[in-house]
Amino acid sequence: MAGRVRQWLDRLLHKRSMQRWRSMADHVRSFDLAMLSRLRSRARAMRRVLDVVIHEADHRLALPVIGSNVIRKPMGSDWWWRPMLWMGPISVPGIASVPGKALVCDGATLFHDCRRSELTFRQIRNTRETDIASFGFRMDMFRFDGSFLSLVLDLPDEAARGLKLRHLIRMDVLVEVEKPLEIFARLNIKHGPNIEQIVRELPMMGEEVMVEFDLAYTKINEKRVERLWLDLIFEGPEMNQITLRDVTFSRRPRAEL
User: Which CATH number belongs to the domain containing residue 95 in this structure?
Assistant: 2.60.120.260
Residues 51, 106, single domain; the answer is no
Cβ neighbours, 10 Å, residue 204: 14
Residues 118, 42, single domain; the answer is no
Domain-located, residue 69: no
pLDDT at 3 over 90: no
Residues 235, 154, single domain; the answer is yes
Report, as an integer, the average pLDDT of 224-241.
94
Residues 83, 131, single domain; the answer is yes
pLDDT at 108 over 80: yes
Residues 36, 138, single domain; the answer is no
Cβ neighbours, 10 Å, residue 188: 16
Report, as an integer, the average pLDDT of 211-228.
92
Q: How far apart are CA 192 and CA 223, in angstroms?
A: 9
Of 143, 128, 124, 144, whose CA–CA distance to 244 is shortest? Answer: 124
Domain-located, residue 74: no
Number of domains in the chain: 2
Report, as an integer, the average pLDDT of 80-99.
90
- Bridge partner list, 247: 173
Of 147, 139, 111, whose CA–CA distance to 231 is shortest? Answer: 111
Q: Who wins on pLDDT, 25 or 179? A: 179
Domain that holds residue 239: 79-253
Domain-located, residue 45: yes
- Amino acid residing at 145: D
